[in-house]
Structure 1
Amino acid sequence: MHSFILDNNVLIKYPQNRTTPIQHGISMFERDFKKVFQSSLKETEQGDNATIVIRYAEEDEPVFHRQESYSIRFIKREKTVMHVVGSDDLGIIYGLLHISNEYFGIDPFWFWADLEVETKEQVRIPIKNYASIEPVVRYRGWFVNDEVCLIGWKPEYPPTEEVWYPVFEALLRCGGNMVIPGTDLPKHGIHFHLASEMGLWITHHHAEPLGAEMFLRAYPGEKASYKENRERFEQLWEEAIIKQKDKKVLWMLSFRGQGDQPFWDFDPSFNTPEKRGEMISYVINRQKELIEKHVENPVCGVALYGEISELYKQGVMKLPDNVIKMWADNGYGKMVSRSQGNENNRVPALPDLDDKGLHGIYYHITFHDLKASNHLTMFPSSSTFILKELQNAFHHQADKYLLLNSGNIRPHLYQLDLVSEIWKNGTTDIDSHLDSFINRLFSTCQEEIGKIYKEYATCTVSFGGYADEKAGEEFYHHPARIIIGHWLTGSIAKRAEKLGWVPENRTFDEQVSFFYQKCTEGLENWAKLKKKCWKVLAQLSDKEKTRFRDQVLFHVELHESGCLGFVRLCKAFFSFKEGNYPVAFVWASKSMAAYSMGVDTLRKSEHGKWKNFYRADWLTNIQSTVDNLDTLRKYLRVFGDSPDFFLWYKEYIMPETEKYIYLENTHREPLSDDDLAQKLEEKFLENGTI
């Protein structure tokens, strides 16, 4: 087969009257071209001498009738010319990015994985017409949620184009077409505007229906009750509609409550499912009326999130026709209702097979729930688990929309890539996909690295009775801080209600023992996996060592240090209960040191352009756990070392020859917590106390 050759002599002709999305697509393509060929792409306005022609489809071309599609055609006259033909703006953008990926070798995550681009003198493209496939999922994209790392990465707030552009670019390169760009960010930020400029559909957080200002932010001090403040709520909604009416918007109809809580938590008059369902139904239908007042043929969805899906299942809600009903997983990838507080009803969160209409899903590969979720680390269950859940959702006709919680992007590249394959094709071969993903990131040790990725999900702690209840790194931090707080407030005689979700616990001692058991088991698994990581690391080049640390070892270290810190915290508690306060102090100090290793892991990953990337670790908040341990050990030192804070030194460390002859008015300076802990540990190790 003959080849079409691209080199630095290429002349390209673009469409006249370029739209803003097309201009962004061209900018990405030209930047890719310059990286590969080390020269700028030359533009021509004459189609006769062009090497590449970028254009919209004509009416007699098949791609014309398919939204967001493209074809690549080779037309031979005096010379062969490659035509990149798009049905619309996104079609052209996808066509350009297909060439970048397939032939230039520009990876969708080149920015996020620090992948170098190989320079070339020429690129050969088979002269064979190509047409894009129609993705299985019509609306597919990311919810950039709990995005504190993106917020804290640079000093400017809200984040600027420097932060958002690589996010939206990666989404486009993954074939996405829709985004919720951030959570409750100031409305003057660039995020919505830039996403729309780049050709993406905009949709909304279920807690911010229609993208409107939150009521209490617009009307501080007023009661956030639609029943009492209907006109003000509707004014906010209509203002948001008017502001967005000329953009591509998938309007999210919802009425949950302020601060992402059910409205009936603040209005006890809604005390039955029927009353709640009636109010939600009325509001959703009213929102759709307001949209239709300003927008012709709007695309609308309804968020059946949390308890709202339960009301829908109970048949107490009346939804408008022709809206996409959005079902959500529980945060751990299972399509059941998420837990609320200590309740975990696990109501199936998929439409019945005979539930006609349009359906889609909101799915988490990263989550934040103050319990056991993964925010900084990779999804804790297997890729096979994700595939089965998504395929089951598609089987239930929930394939019109797939919104993926993408978090801070950088820690979640593997699962983001996996789901992009599934939303295009409806399935994937897990092993082949993993091999391909790893080969894109590493040039050696691919088989060993693949085994580590697979083993990762077998190492995560199972904290409940269901297969999806697998722990992310928050499992080691939020519960640990709850235990410390419960302990320090003198409440250990009763169980910690905030840990009521822990299975089969009746007392605080049993709650602590549960975490001790789980983290002890987990620690052994993570230590073994870390050894395998270090073995691979020794065989990689310097650049690939850094990438392996950031994309693989990073996650293992956060789990291992978290497990180790929690085990030591539990040992501190057990020693405290026995009245062995110096040993409890040592274990608390050792726990603090282990958790500090997690902070070190974050800092090591902040090289080059990633400086300060984890500065805003406010959700898992490893540093807060370290600080809590510091408070705990100071508290423990009061038990027996107070008031002079010299007594433990005298009892355990001071030479016997000095103990009875030193003078009280000249005794040495009290040791710092760190120094005392180190010396006590040495003594206790020597005599077998620990």
Structure 2
Amino acid sequence: MLQYYRILLIAIFIIRAGNSNAQITLVNGASGDDIFPLVANDMAAVYYDNKEPEVVKRTAGLFVDDIYRITGRKMIASGEVGVLPKNIVVVGTIGYSDLINNLIKENKLNVDDIRSGWEQYVVSLVKNPLPGIDKALVIAGCDRRGAAYGLLSVSELVGVSPWYWWADVPVQNKTSLLLKINPFTSVQPSVKYRGIFINDEDWGLKPWAAKTFEPELNDIGPKTYAKICELLLRLKANYLSPAMHSCSGAFNKYDENKLVADSFGIVMGSIHCEPLLFNNATEWDSKTMGPWDYIKNKHGINKVLTRRVQENGTFENVYTLALRGIHDAVMSGNLTLKEQVKVLGDALKDQRKILSDVLKKPLEEVPQVFYPYKEVLDIYDAGLEVPDDVTLIWTDDDYGYMKRLSNSKEQKRKGRAGVYYHVSYWGPPNDNLWLCTTPPALMYQELKKAYETTADQLWVVNVGDIKPAEYHISLFMEMAFDINKFNSKNIIDHHADFLSEIYGSAYQPCFKKSQLLTIN
């Protein structure tokens, strides 16, 4: 039993490099119209239009690096047609890529199912897309992230795990990469915004970044966030609530952080106690700004929130409407519950006015969320009016059980709902930091219930300092991307399937037995 437990502890840090899309398969020694020689005697190249968003260009570079990890051969990634070999991978966004637009016009590429989509892509094999080009593996996204997801799904298929860097997942070397292509369209994500909240970074992430990865900053900075955002993109996630403890610098302390996140197509947000992307734990200076008290210092608070939206408003964000105390404390002022309802209601109105004034958009077009978390749930239940277009983010009890779901009235809201879930937690009476213990079946049960009651706008999971939450992060993102591929039967075997895809299907009975032994 002890040996089985050791295997599981080791395996939790190793993520599969399996067949992420059954419509693309890796084959050996095959030829034909449906075979694309990614790496054979000659190397294919990656082509993108120079007008593409930065995340598409960056993803092309990641893909080239991935192929090098597998084959030891360097592929060309270029926006210039003149340097291309006879086989190319075309990645791009409908509307940005002239080549993809032309293929659509010439009826060589069908994108009808994703024209009005969100983060979707089509994959197709096109003959003679350009003079001198024999075949093109075309990955066309309805938007910038759709294109990136499509290309990185090929990386995972041929053997590069999303966790190759964070968990040192080994890459199996191959001399050739032949792909059998069955044209397909990806599903639209079940949940619109899917991401992580980095919390309690004091223990691992901050010391490691400060001492090892970014000693020049002595902090979590753009180099670390680049690796975090790359991981999210590879997991088909799109949202990040950054580290916010006072031990580390706020995300906005370093201007480059915003540029890094946007270059990976990551939508930035903030957690329940951080209004409009503002981290009051480290950014609020009571000596120069006054007290964090809405009754005594309403104008001072709104001034810094306005400045934050001005600084960050050109990027893609989800804005949290909130008013709690400093960091994770209750509202200042020792107010009665009725008074808290009044003050918080006024604060929400002021924050929405800030968004409207600065962004110059109808508020219905600005993603906004509200977390009825901890004592804020009592304020909400006491009569707080949350605007109908704002998404309600329901939370678990910090240990995996949802405390609330949308009732019949709340299910009719335009803003619908979302989920804030914990697989890591630091707080009384029990901490859950060093080993993630939430059962996969419990995650599915609770998240599926939430999804079925309109929680499909934002799922964010508290992952502590990322390690050791690798498996749970992957499972959470898989469910958020396609909840319908899970059910009450296959979720039971998910972890064993996960491990058997690492070590081989022959070991699946062993892993299932290991699960039983660790439970007993």
TM-score over 0.5 (shorter chain): yes
Match of 2:369 in 1: 301
Alignment of 1:45-56 (within 5 A): 45-46=80-81, 49-56=86-93
Aligned partner of residue 293 in structure 1, secondary structure = helix
Structure 1 runs of 4+ with >6 Å offset: none
- State the distance in 1 between where 2:314 and 2:120 align: 22
Match of 1:278 in 2: 342
Match of 2:510 in 1: 448
Match of 2:270 in 1: 204
Alignment of 1:396-415 (within 5 A): 396-415=453-472
Match of 1:658 in 2: none
| Residue type of the alignment partner of 1:159 | I
Match of 1:476 in 2: none
- Residue among 30, 38, 54 paired with 1:20: 54
| Residue type of the alignment partner of 1:411 | P
Q: Deviations over 1:206-265 (max 9, x none)?
A: 2221122528832238332111111100001001000101000001111112121111xx
Match of 1:133 in 2: 187
Q: 1:193 to 1:412 in 2, by over 3 A?
A: same
Please say if residues 94 and 141 of structure 2, whose CA atoms lie closer than 8 Å, have aligned partners that are also in contact. yes
Structure 1-normalised TM-score? 0.60
Match of 1:144 in 2: 198
- State the distance in 2 between where 1:113 and 1:449 align: 20
Match of 1:378 in 2: 436
- State the distance in 2 between where 1:46 and 1:331 align: 53
Q: Deviations over 1:162-214 (max 9, x none)?
A: 43333222211111011112114333235444223211000012222112252
- Residue among 112, 121, 142 paired with 1:70: 121
* CA displacement at 1:440 relative to structure 2: 4.0
Please say if residues 441 and 492 of structure 2, whose CA atoms lie closer than 8 Å, have aligned partners that are also in contact. no
* CA displacement at 1:161 relative to structure 2: 3.9
Match of 2:35 in 1: 3
Alignment of 1:343-492 (within 5 A): 349-355=404-410, 356-357=412-413, 358-379=416-437, 381-427=438-484, 428=486, 429-443=490-504, 445-453=507-515, 456=518, 458=519
* CA displacement at 1:446 relative to structure 2: 4.7
- State the distance in 2 between where 1:169 and 1:365 align: 21
Match of 1:319 in 2: 386
* CA displacement at 1:411 relative to structure 2: 0.7
- State the distance in 1 between where 2:144 and 2:516 align: 39
Q: Deviations over 1:520-555 (max 9, x none)?
A: xxxxxxxxxxxxxxxxxxxxxxxxxxxxxxxxxxxx
Please say if residues 332 and 373 of structure 1, whose CA atoms lie closer than 8 Å, have aligned partners that are also in contact. no
- State the distance in 2 between where 1:328 and 1:191 align: 28
In the comparison of the two structures, how many residue pairs are matched?
439
Please say if residues 12 and 42 of structure 1, whose CA atoms lie closer than 8 Å, have aligned partners that are also in contact. yes
Aligned partner of residue 454 in structure 2, secondary structure = coil
* CA displacement at 1:453 relative to structure 2: 4.3
- State the distance in 1 between where 2:220 and 2:189 align: 31
**2:315 maps to 1:247:** yes
Q: Deviations over 1:266-321 (max 9, x none)?
A: 423x21x322112111111210110111212311111211121232233x111123
Please say if residues 181 and 195 of structure 1, whose CA atoms lie closer than 8 Å, have aligned partners that are also in contact. no
Please say if residues 496 and 511 of structure 2, whose CA atoms lie closer than 8 Å, have aligned partners that are also in contact. no
Match of 2:401 in 1: 334
| Residue type of the alignment partner of 2:342 | E
CA RMSD of aligned residues (A): 2.3
* CA displacement at 1:450 relative to structure 2: 4.2
- State the distance in 1 between where 2:453 and 2:47 align: 45
Q: 1:43 to 1:388 in 2, by over 3 A?
A: closer
* CA displacement at 1:22 relative to structure 2: 2.1
* CA displacement at 1:454 relative to structure 2: 5.4
**2:260 maps to 1:194:** yes
* CA displacement at 1:393 relative to structure 2: 0.7
- Taking only the aligned residue pairs, the percentage that are identical comes to 21
- State the distance in 2 between where 1:16 and 1:267 align: 54
Q: Deviations over 1:389-447 (max 9, x none)?
A: 00111122112110111222221112112112211221522144223321344358554
Q: 1:33 to 1:258 in 2, by over 3 A?
A: same
Please say if residues 201 and 250 of structure 1, whose CA atoms lie closer than 8 Å, have aligned partners that are also in contact. yes
- State the distance in 2 between where 1:117 and 1:52 align: 21
- Residue among 342, 355, 364 paired with 1:291: 355
Match of 1:608 in 2: none
Please say if residues 309 and 327 of structure 1, whose CA atoms lie closer than 8 Å, have aligned partners that are also in contact. no
- State the distance in 1 between where 2:261 and 2:400 align: 27
* CA displacement at 1:116 relative to structure 2: 1.2
**2:306 maps to 1:238:** yes
- State the distance in 2 between where 1:274 and 1:441 align: 55
- State the distance in 2 between where 1:32 and 1:225 align: 50
Aligned partner of residue 164 in structure 2, secondary structure = coil
**2:358 maps to 1:310:** no
Match of 1:107 in 2: 161
- State the distance in 1 between where 2:501 and 2:463 align: 20
* CA displacement at 1:134 relative to structure 2: 0.7
**2:241 maps to 1:180:** yes
* CA displacement at 1:90 relative to structure 2: 0.8
- State the distance in 2 between where 1:85 and 1:136 align: 20
Q: Which has the higher contact order (CA 8 A, sep 6+)?
A: 2
Higher Cα Rg, which structure: 1
Higher strand share: 2
- State the distance in 2 between where 1:145 and 1:451 align: 34
Match of 2:208 in 1: 153
Q: Deviations over 1:69-99 (max 9, x none)?
A: 2111111237332111112211111011111
Match of 1:559 in 2: none
Match of 1:494 in 2: none
- State the distance in 1 between where 2:515 and 2:147 align: 35
Please say if residues 253 and 301 of structure 1, whose CA atoms lie closer than 8 Å, have aligned partners that are also in contact. yes
Q: Deviations over 1:609-640 (max 9, x none)?
A: xxxxxxxxxxxxxxxxxxxxxxxxxxxxxxxx
Please say if residues 382 and 454 of structure 1, whose CA atoms lie closer than 8 Å, have aligned partners that are also in contact. no
- State the distance in 1 between where 2:238 and 2:274 align: 20
Q: 1:454 to 1:96 in 2, by over 3 A?
A: farther
* CA displacement at 1:324 relative to structure 2: 0.8
| Residue type of the alignment partner of 2:118 | Q
